[in-house]
Amino acid sequence: MTESTVIEVEHLSRLFGKFRAVDDISFSVTRGEIFGFLGANGAGKTTTIRILCGLLSPTSGKGRVLDIDIGKAPERVKPLLGYMSQKFSLYPDLTVSENLELYGGLYGLSSSRLAQRRAFAVEMAGLVGQEAVLCATLPLGFKQRLALGAALLHEPKLLFLDEPTAGVAPRARREFWTLIRSLASSGTTVFVTSHYMDEVENCDRIVLMSRGRIAALGTPTELKQGLVGRIVRIECGQEPARLARRLRAHEGVVDAQPFGSAIHLIVAPGLDPINHARKALAALEEQPRSVEVCQPTLEDVFISVVSGVAR
């Protein structure tokens, strides 16, 4: 473990009965990184986070978080990190201020430090002047920013965010990621899960989990590399959803999805994409307006990697 390594995981597994929720994963995270932890529902993301936060014990394998062995001293790691859980973490019937005081108390902050940190959190959440508002009535985007503020009260060096933007509208999501980026640039390490493939472009590195295992790991650019030249955009005008469904059944087509009036088609590796798309269309007696190769997105990567492993 080098000085800049914040998380180091080796052959970590967690079973529930006979079910392997986390199955022999290894990776490490360095200081100041935004580390995206992605994967299908049930892939083991939350379970991994709970282990790394010292809330759940691993069945086997090793994990060091901020230089502490989580198998041996999980209670020592808890106060050092910030954690926003996938389920709601604020009390709806308390005000903005009361929620922060409650968390500050849990972290054992002195009253002068709490006052100072509370002011920081309110400001960061964009809720100055709204300290007396009940959390239940805040729009979701603000609730999530406040929950982030609460997780940062004790100035942790490492932050776990489990789907912090689920259900948040586009503008508020962009603002949330601006906060994440500024935290990371000031040296906080951010471990984050999300099902929005557009926002995870902001991550420095990404893990793609599937069925408890790591199916891919790399920077967004590295992950997309494998699909360059394999994605075809078909302008078809009429009923893209129906045509996409029929194309999906065609051999050599990994996936076909409607995007507005067009279709994105992923061809199997080694095939000439345009030729193959044209062949598939001809077999269905369809005449598209245009067929061209396009740039892969992380969503394309997710679909091809995760469904490739699952099927």
Partner 1 sequence: MTSGRESAFVLEASQLSKSYGERPALRELSLRLVRGRILGLIGPDGAGKTTALRLLAGLMRPDAGQILVSGVDVARRGAALRGLIGYMAQAYSLYGDLSVEENFRFFAAMLGVASREIPAMEERLLGLAMLLEHKKKPAGTLSGGMYKKLALACVLSHKPPLVLLDEPTNGVDPISRRELWAFLRELVDDGTSVVIATPYMDEAERCDEVALLVDGRIVAHDNPTRLMAEHQAGGEKGATFEDVFLALSEASSEKDEKS
Ligand X SMILES: Nc1ncnc2c1ncn2[C@@H]1O[C@H](COP(=O)(O)OP(=O)(O)OP(=O)(O)O)[C@@H](O)[C@H]1O
Applying CB under 6 A, the residues found at the interface with ligand X are 16, 19, 21, 39, 41-47, 86, 137, 139-140
C-alpha torsion 253→257→258→263, nearest 10:
-30
Helix (H) or strand (E) holding 263: strand 262-267
Query: Exactly one of 22, 150, 168, 277 binds partner 1 (CB under 8 A); which one?
Result: 168
Give the shortest CB-238-to-Mg ion separation in angstroms. 34
Give the shortest CB-10-to-ligand X separation in angstroms. 19
Residue number, 109 or 191, with CB nearest to ligand X? 191
For residues 248 and 255, the answer to whether their CB atoms sit within 8 Å is yes
Give the shortest CB-49-to-Mg ion separation in angstroms. 8
Q: Choosing among ligand X, Mg ion, partner 1, none, which partner's interface includes residue 117 (Cβ < 5 to 8 Å by kind)?
A: none
Give the shortest CB-131-to-partner 1 separation in angstroms. 19
Q: Choosing among partner 1, ligand X, Mg ion, none, which partner's interface includes residue 302 (Cβ < 5 to 8 Å by kind)?
A: partner 1
In the chain, the amino acid numbered 211 is R
Q: Rounded distance, CA 24 to CA 70, Å?
A: 16
Q: Rounded distance, CA 206 to CA 192, Å?
A: 9
CB atoms within 10 A of CB 251: 10
Reading the block at residue 298, the tokens are 């992380």
For residues 205 and 225, the answer to whether their CB atoms sit within 8 Å is no
Q: Is 195 in the site for partner 1 (CB under 8 A)?
A: yes
Q: By C-alpha distance, which of 134, 127, 308 is closest to 226? A: 308
Give the shortest CB-240-to-partner 1 separation in angstroms. 9
Give the shortest CB-107-to-Mg ion separation in angstroms. 24
For residues 256 and 240, the answer to whether their CB atoms sit within 8 Å is no
Q: Rounded distance, CA 163 to CA 38, Å?
A: 10
Q: Is 46 in the site for Mg ion (CB under 5 A)?
A: yes
Residues 64-103 that bind partner 1 (CB under 8 A): 86-87
Q: By C-alpha distance, which of 107, 7, 14 is closest to 57? A: 14
Q: Choosing among Mg ion, ligand X, partner 1, none, which partner's interface includes residue 158 (Cβ < 5 to 8 Å by kind)?
A: none
Q: How far is CA 38 from CA 196, 267, 277, 279, 297, in A?
A: 9, 23, 30, 34, 15
Give the shortest CB-160-to-ligand X separation in angstroms. 12
Reading the block at residue 217, the tokens are 């790991």
Site string for Mg ion, 57-96 (x = CB under 5 A): -----------------------------x----------
Q: Which stretch binds partner 1 (CB under 8 A): 57-65, 105-113, 134-142, 151-159?
A: 134-142
Q: Is 140 in the site for partner 1 (CB under 8 A)?
A: yes
Residues that bind partner 1 (CB under 8 A): 16, 39-43, 45-46, 86-87, 139-142, 163, 166-173, 195-197, 241-242, 245, 257-261, 299, 302-303, 306-307, 310
